[in-house]
């Protein structure tokens, strides 16, 4: 695996562990019947339980247990006979009870692994917990200290989360990104989350420390928060590794603290000082009974596992004849492999589909920040585009333009071709007439061609081809046009 | 003369009242009006109620009468007024928990037990006074002033459900609901001369009961007779899907075997709760007399030992405050109740809590926070949980040879207002006899038996193993008949 080289006097080895919070895609919240829904009007998906009103009590959502066991099976975790819920106590306005129901000493999943680029990264634990609400600071540019007042939306309060904690097995920002990419693909494959980092349904905190290369002992670790994309995770880790290396090189000590990644400034800031360190006073949640999944539930979770990303990559490479990198992009981009497979199922050639999906389609997804499943152009539309290239109706260049329009509008490629009169012209008689007119209009160029050396010949021939393409608005079949021009110049 | 409910008459008996309303002999409206009149008459002195739900009660009574008129059965509590400790959520009706911090808060939902009372034809007649957040043994910790004992208004009614106990003891309501965490139903029942029950943990839903200490809290009935308490417990018991700690079974049938007697039962007198310093001699004498009465009725009675019960109070005063410190965190001024504004959120939280909570609540939040804090958890909370395990084990051993146990409910009869307010530890010791069965999650109840100094009521505590309510009520019935 590639590693980030830290160029310093002492060679420092980064040690990284990641805590991943995954919002589970259940219909309802963790402990009540309110809808688990992103983007609803503030404080509409709330009830006495998720608002933590006096006298309310939590009741565990059975679907969450099912998802937790599925995650445990996919990460090859051990699922103990019983796990217990615990209260994590601290005051925060967006946390309705001023404690979070989580799991502490006895989590639902322990001791798993995730294969990342052929290496097993340890999973220390995965536990169930509830999400908090969201605070919006009004005025002062949204910054807490300058805000005039704050508004709290409790729609997210009580949404089910799994916190998946890796062992400190990662050694570079790139490895960390690869781990998250693989974990995200895995969670997507097993259908437990929509894994959208931008919407916060997948959130990463990183623990980073440095040690002299070769040492076994860990250095002092810093927790970095607020990375809301894979890219910012990579940038934040690279910054933090360099920051720590700089301090260590200067003979300074690393302060154990939580730091906040500032995407705009590209730096991490210290959040709270040591004397404000929280004592969460965890204790077993007396309002819930221990979670003790029976043999049947465990067996169902294992049986319910669909094809996992590694297997899918292997299958796509073998069946479609595409290279590993392409398979990695397809499977590593949420929803993209589904989209491509649907296009292939609609009859398109797999290699062409894979090439479009990992090229233009992927670029468009990044540009407009949507998931493949939300594209206006459905997979059968992409299949149609591939067919139009295959049968010679569209050149690859024209096909790009058509695809671009289809992605934006959702129009079928054939409809766009028809509306814009874009079909490639392969009619020999039509192209011959165009060329005859050009040769007649540019007798001087033809003469120069005939008299010139190779260099001149190439230039003059290019001019005539360009004129012919222009006259056919780029729709001439290039191979046929070349042959016909050669006949006239030869 | 054995002190019973003050102003007691046939009307105070819930079973008789419900029968009269169901048969059409009396209207629920008349029953309710009569009790509202009594409240008007006496509650200025007693201060059992924080809120009288006169309009709601009359409307509910009219609905019961309409049901009877339509030839349908309103249920086993038809037309019977029920006073509710102000720790139970009542939709749209202020619920304060005796605290300034919840002043003005109207819950948007109704507690399961209250809904069940309504469904059985019962009439919630008002919200009763209590020690703030159920923390106390005299109802003097209410932010809205103390309640007085109906037998002697210079004395406390006990607590924390003192308002409910005084309402029933004073004849203002035939039935009441309280909550019992370490004795908060049983001890005031004893001091007010009424029957009070703490059911098996999980038998009665806690949904809508504002939490003090979640692993100990149970809702329980107050009544003037054992049979009335059985009727109310039958109504409120049974599984509730909204409470994960609720036993997944229907509630017990208590009235059926109530008169089966105690012939052949083995009953133990718990030495650690009876023969110890601090228990008044008249109270010990009452326990002895109850033992003789049970023997006469055919039971075998012997002294038994539950050694760890002696440590119950120490364990309880770590576990209950620890859970309370977490349960009461939500009163932060952000969403409901009192808010004292400040320049930043943390200061607003602190000022709100400083203003809204009384001294005893603050004391317990601090105790509990300390008991859970890093470095002390194992020595305090952890150790208390180990004692709790011992208490359960010791009870299990005793219940191998006993069907039920008896002891005093309270070491003393009702004490004077102000007598223990300066000494929190003395106040905590009021719970010494009731706390062990709370820690074990077992049922226990107090039945009036005999009189102590100044002719004040004495409560006999009957204890039983988990889900042992049927036997416990049989014993209580014999004790009541012998009183």
pLDDT 10s digits, A291-331: 999 989 998 888 889 999 999 999 999 999 999 899 999 99
B220 belongs to a structural domain: yes
pLDDT in the model for residue B7? 43
3-state class of B174 per DSSP? coil
B282 belongs to a structural domain: no
- How many angstroms away from the CA of B244 is the closest CA of chain A? 6
In sequence order, what are the residues at sequence separation of 6 or more whose Cβ sits closer than 8 angstroms to the Cβ of residue B121?
A: B18, B21, B28, B64, B67, B74, B75, B76, B77, B78, B79, B80
Asked whether the beta carbons of residue B95 and residue A87 sit closer than 8 angstroms, the reply is: no
Nearest residue to A90 via CA among B362, B382, B349: B349
Which residues does chain A have within 8 Å of residue B325's beta carbon, measured at their own beta carbons?
Answer: 89, 281
Low-confidence ranges of chain B (pLDDT < 50): 1-10
Most B CBs within 10 A among A48, A86, A281, A284, hence the mutation to make, goes to: A281
pLDDT in the model for residue B12? 61
Asked whether the beta carbons of residue B105 and residue A98 sit closer than 8 angstroms, the reply is: no
Average pLDDT on A379-407 reads 89
Average pLDDT on A133-146 reads 77
pLDDT interval class at A4 (50, 70, 90)? low
pLDDT interval class at A142 (50, 70, 90)? low
Numbered residues of chain B with Cβ closer than 8 Å to any chain A Cβ: 88-89, 95, 97, 102, 105, 107-109, 111, 206-211, 213-215, 241-245, 322-323, 325-326, 329-330, 332, 334-336, 345-346, 349, 369, 372-374, 377, 381
B451 belongs to a structural domain: no
B317 belongs to a structural domain: no
CA distances from A80 to A72, A108, A289, A304, B424 (A): 11, 7, 15, 19, 44
3-state class of B130 per DSSP? coil
Asked whether the beta carbons of residue B336 and residue A53 sit closer than 8 angstroms, the reply is: yes
Catalytic residues of B: 85, 160, 184
Asked whether the beta carbons of residue B332 and residue A288 sit closer than 8 angstroms, the reply is: no
Distance CA A206, CA A168 (A): 10
pLDDT 10s digits, A325-356: 999 999 999 899 999 999 999 999 999 999 99
Q: Nearest Cβ partner of A59 from B108, B209, B242?
A: B242
| Of the listed ranges A18-32, A373-387, B207-221, the one predicted with least confidence | A373-387
Which residues does chain B have within 8 Å of residue A281's beta carbon, measured at their own beta carbons?
Answer: 325-326, 369, 372-374, 377
B438 belongs to a structural domain: no
B81 belongs to a structural domain: yes
**Angle CA A115–A116–A121, to nearest 5:** 65
Distance CA B299, CA B270 (A): 16
Asked whether the beta carbons of residue A55 and residue B89 sit closer than 8 angstroms, the reply is: yes
CATH number at residue B173: 3.90.1300.10
Q: In angstroms, how far is the first alpha carbon of chain B from the final one? A: 10
- How many angstroms away from the CA of A130 is the closest CA of chain B? 16
- How many beta-carbon pairs below 8 A join chains A and B? 97
Q: Which residues of A302-326 are buried (b: 16+ CB within 10 A; e: fewer)?
A: eeeeeebbbebbeebbeebebeeeb
The average confidence (pLDDT) of chain A is: 91
pLDDT in the model for residue A271? 74
pLDDT 10s digits, A461-483: 999 988 888 888 788 888 888 88
Instruction: Dig out the tokens for B41 from the structure.
Output: 């008459």
Total tally of structural domains belonging to chain B: 1
pLDDT in the model for residue B338? 97
Most B CBs within 10 A among A33, A42, A57, A284, hence the mutation to make, goes to: A57
Instruction: List, edge to edge, every strand of the sheet that includes A258-262.
Output: A109-116, A119-130, A160-166, A12-23, A202-212, A222-227, A258-262, A267-270
Asked whether the beta carbons of residue A56 and residue B325 sit closer than 8 angstroms, the reply is: no
Q: Which domains does chain A have, with CATH numbers?
A: 12-301 (no CATH), 307-420 (no CATH), 428-489 (1.10.10)
- How many angstroms away from the CA of A221 is the closest CA of chain B? 20
Q: Nearest Cβ partner of A288 from B244, B336, B374?
A: B244
pLDDT interval class at A272 (50, 70, 90)? low
pLDDT in the model for residue A42? 96
**Angle CA A336–A339–A342, to nearest 5:** 150
Q: Nearest Cβ partner of B322 from A57, A93, A283?
A: A283
Which residues does chain B have within 8 Å of residue A42's beta carbon, measured at their own beta carbons?
Answer: none
Asked whether the beta carbons of residue A60 and residue B89 sit closer than 8 angstroms, the reply is: no
Asked whether the beta carbons of residue B335 and residue A96 sit closer than 8 angstroms, the reply is: yes
User: Where in the sequence is the domain holding B249, given as residue range(s)?
Assistant: 10-258
Q: Nearest Cβ partner of B330 from A60, A97, A152?
A: A97
B329 belongs to a structural domain: no
pLDDT surpasses 70 at A420: yes
B156 belongs to a structural domain: yes
pLDDT in the model for residue B4? 40
| Interface residue A53 vs chain B (CB under 8 A) | yes
Distance CA B471, CA B467 (A): 9
- How many angstroms away from the CA of B214 is the closest CA of chain A? 6
3-state class of B371 per DSSP? helix
pLDDT in the model for residue B256? 93
| Interface residue A150 vs chain B (CB under 8 A) | yes
Distance CA A13, CA A133 (A): 38
Asked whether the beta carbons of residue B332 and residue A58 sit closer than 8 angstroms, the reply is: no
Asked whether the beta carbons of residue A53 and residue B109 sit closer than 8 angstroms, the reply is: yes
By the 10 Å C-beta count (0-12 exposed, 13-18 middle, 19+ buried), A18 is classed as buried
pLDDT interval class at A3 (50, 70, 90)? low
């Amino acid at each position: 695996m590639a590693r980030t080289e830290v160029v310093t006097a002492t060679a420092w080895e980064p040690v990284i562990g990641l805590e991943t919070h995954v919002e589970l895609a259940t219909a309802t919240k963790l402990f009540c019947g309110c809808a688990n829904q992103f983007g609803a009007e503030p404080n509409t998906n709330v009830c006495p339980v998720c608002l933590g009103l006096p006298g309310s009590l939590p009741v565990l959502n059975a679907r969450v247990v099912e998802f937790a066991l599925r995650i445990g099976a996919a990460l090859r975790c051990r699922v103990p006979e019983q796990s217990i819920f615990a209260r994590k106590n601290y005051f925060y306005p967006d946390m309705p009870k001023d404690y979070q129901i989580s799991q502490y000493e006895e989590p639902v999943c322990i001791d798993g692994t995730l294969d990342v680029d052929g290496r097993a990264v340890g999973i220390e634990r995965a536990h169930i917990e509830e999400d908090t609400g969201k605070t919006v600071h009004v005025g002062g540019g949204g910054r807490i200290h300058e805000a005039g007042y704050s508004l709290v939306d409790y729609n997210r309060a009580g949404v089910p989360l799994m916190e998946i904690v890796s062992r400190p097995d990662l050694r570079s920002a790139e490895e960390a990104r690869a781990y998250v990419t693989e974990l995200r693909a895995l969670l997507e494959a097993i259908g437990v989350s929509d894994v959208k980092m931008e919407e916060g349904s997948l959130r990463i905190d990183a623990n980073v420390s440095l040690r002299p290369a070769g040492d076994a002992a860990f250095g002092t670790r810093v927790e970095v928060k607020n990375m809301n994309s894979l890219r910012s995770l990579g940038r934040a880790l690279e910054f933090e590794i360099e920051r720590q290396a700089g301090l260590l090189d200067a003979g300074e000590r690393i302060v154990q603290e939580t730091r906040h990644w500032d995407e705009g400034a590209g730096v991490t800031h210290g959040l709270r000082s040591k004397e404000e360190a929280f004592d969460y006073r965890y204790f077993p949640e007396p309002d819930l009974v221990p979670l003790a999944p029976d043999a049947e539930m465990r067996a169902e979770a294992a049986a319910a596992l669909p094809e996992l990303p590694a297997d899918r990559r292997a299958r796509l490479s073998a069946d479609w004849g595409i290279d590993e990198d392409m398979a990695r992009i397809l499977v590593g981009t949420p929803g993209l492999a589904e989209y491509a497979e649907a296009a292939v199922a609609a009859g398109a050639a797999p290699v062409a589909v894979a090439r479009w999906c990992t090229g233009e389609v992927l670029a468009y997804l990044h540009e407009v920040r949507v998931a493949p499943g939300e594209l206006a152009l459905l997979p059968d539309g992409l299949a149609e585009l591939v067919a139009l290239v295959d049968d010679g109706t569209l050149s690859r260049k024209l096909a790009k333009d058509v695809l671009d329009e289809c992605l934006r509008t959702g129009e079928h490629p054939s409809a766009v071709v028809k509306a814009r009169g874009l079909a490639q012209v392969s009619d020999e008689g039509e192209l011959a007439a165009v060329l005859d007119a050009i040769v007649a209009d540019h007798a001087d160029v033809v003469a120069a061609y005939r008299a010139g050396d190779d260099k001149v010949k190439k230039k003059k021939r290019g001019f005539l081809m360009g004129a012919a393409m222009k006259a056919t608005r780029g729709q001439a079949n290039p191979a046929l046009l070349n042959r016909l021009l050669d006949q006239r110049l030869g | 003369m054995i002190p019973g409910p003050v102003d007691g008459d046939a009307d105070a008996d819930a079973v008789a009242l419900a029968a009269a309303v169901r048969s059409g002999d009396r209207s629920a409206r008349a029953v309710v009006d009569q009790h509202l009149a009594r409240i008007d008459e006496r509650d200025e002195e007693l201060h059992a109620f924080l809120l009288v739900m006169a309009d709601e009660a009359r409307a509910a009574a009219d609905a019961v009468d309409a049901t009877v008129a339509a030839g349908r059965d309103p249920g086993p509590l038809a037309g019977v007024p029920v006073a509710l400790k102000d720790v139970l959520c009542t939709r749209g009706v202020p619920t304060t928990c005796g605290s300034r911090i919840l002043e003005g808060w109207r819950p948007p939902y109704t507690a399961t037990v209250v809904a069940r009372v309504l469904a059985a034809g019962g009439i919630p007649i008002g919200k009763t006074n209590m020690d703030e957040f159920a923390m106390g043994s005299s109802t003097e910790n209410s932010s809205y002033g103390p309640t007085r004992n109906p037998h002697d208004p210079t004395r406390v009614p006990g607590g924390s459900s003192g308002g409910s106990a005084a309402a029933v003891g004073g004849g203002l309501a035939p039935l009441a609901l309280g909550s019992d965490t370490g004795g908060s139903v049983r001890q005031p029942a004893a001091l007010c001369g009424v029957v009070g029950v703490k059911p098996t943990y999980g038998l009665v839903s806690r949904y809508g009961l504002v939490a003090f200490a979640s692993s100990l809290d149970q809702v329980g009935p107050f009544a003037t007779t054992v049979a009335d308490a059985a009727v109310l417990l039958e109504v409120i018991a049974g599984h509730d899907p909204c409470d994960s700690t609720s036993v997944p079974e229907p509630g017990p049938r208590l009235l059926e075997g109530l008169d089966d007697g105690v012939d052949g039962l083995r009953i133990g007198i718990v030495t650690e709760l009876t023969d110890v310093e601090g228990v008044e001699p008249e109270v010990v004498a009452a326990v002895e007399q109850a033992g003789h009465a049970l023997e006469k009725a055919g039971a075998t009675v012997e002294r038994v030992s539950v050694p760890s019960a002696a440590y119950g109070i120490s364990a309880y005063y770590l576990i209950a405050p620890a859970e309370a410190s977490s349960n009461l965190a939500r009163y932060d001024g952000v969403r409901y109740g009192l808010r004292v504004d400040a320049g930043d959120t943390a200061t607003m939280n602190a000022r709100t809590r400083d203003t809204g909570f009384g001294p005893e609540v603050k004391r317990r939040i601090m105790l509990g926070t300390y008991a859970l804090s890093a470095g002390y958890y194992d020595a305090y909370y952890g150790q208390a949980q180990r004692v709790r395990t011992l208490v359960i084990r010791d009870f299990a051993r005793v219940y191998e040879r006993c069907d039920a146990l008896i002891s005093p409910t309270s070491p003393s009869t009702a004490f004077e207002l102000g007598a223990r307010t300066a000494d929190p530890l003395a106040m905590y010791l009021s719970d010494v006899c009731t706390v062990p069965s709370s820690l074990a999650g077992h049922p226990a109840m107090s039945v009036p038996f005999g009189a102590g100094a100044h002719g004040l009521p004495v409560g006999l505590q009957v204890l039983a193993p988990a889900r042992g309510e049927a036997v416990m009520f049989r014993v209580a019935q014999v004790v009541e008949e012998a009183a």
